[in-house]
Amino acid sequence: MNCFSMVGRLGADAELKYTPAGNAMMTFRCAFEVGWGETKRTTWITWSLVGKRAEKLTEYLRKGDQVGVVGKIYMHEYTTGEGVKRSVLQGYVDNVTLIKNSGASEPTAAARSAADDDDGIPF
């Protein structure tokens, strides 16, 4: 089973793009900290969400927001143009909870009901 949950902060505003097939795809980078004192480390995960929820949530996820995320993670490995091997954590979102908004307006009831295909809750 691959289920990962975290609370962290967004490093930038969420980005919305569309696939060649016309499907909405939102991505956002989120950091969380592990350890304390001199051993504290920050880890970044790039999360992806596809569909109508992605379109609605993009406008509410802003740099600095604190969010809870549940999803599936994996290690993406690639080689740069200079031949350097790199690895990054990436994940597919199952659920996002906005914990603390850094200044953007909170979602309205209408936005919440329009954002999710299944139960009317975008987060």
Instruction: Kindly report, residue by residue over 69-109, the tens digit of the pLDDT.
Output: 999 999 999 999 999 999 999 999 999 999 987 655 555 44
Confirm whether 22 is domain-assigned.
Answer: yes
Counting the structural domains of the chain, the total is 1
Confirm whether 103 is domain-assigned.
Answer: yes
Say what the pTM is.
0.76
pLDDT band at 1 (very low <50, low <70, confident <90, very high): confident
Confirm whether 120 is domain-assigned.
Answer: no
Domain membership of residue 46 as a residue range:
4-115
In the chain, beta strands by DSSP E: 4-10, 15-18, 24-34, 41-50, 66-79, 85-100
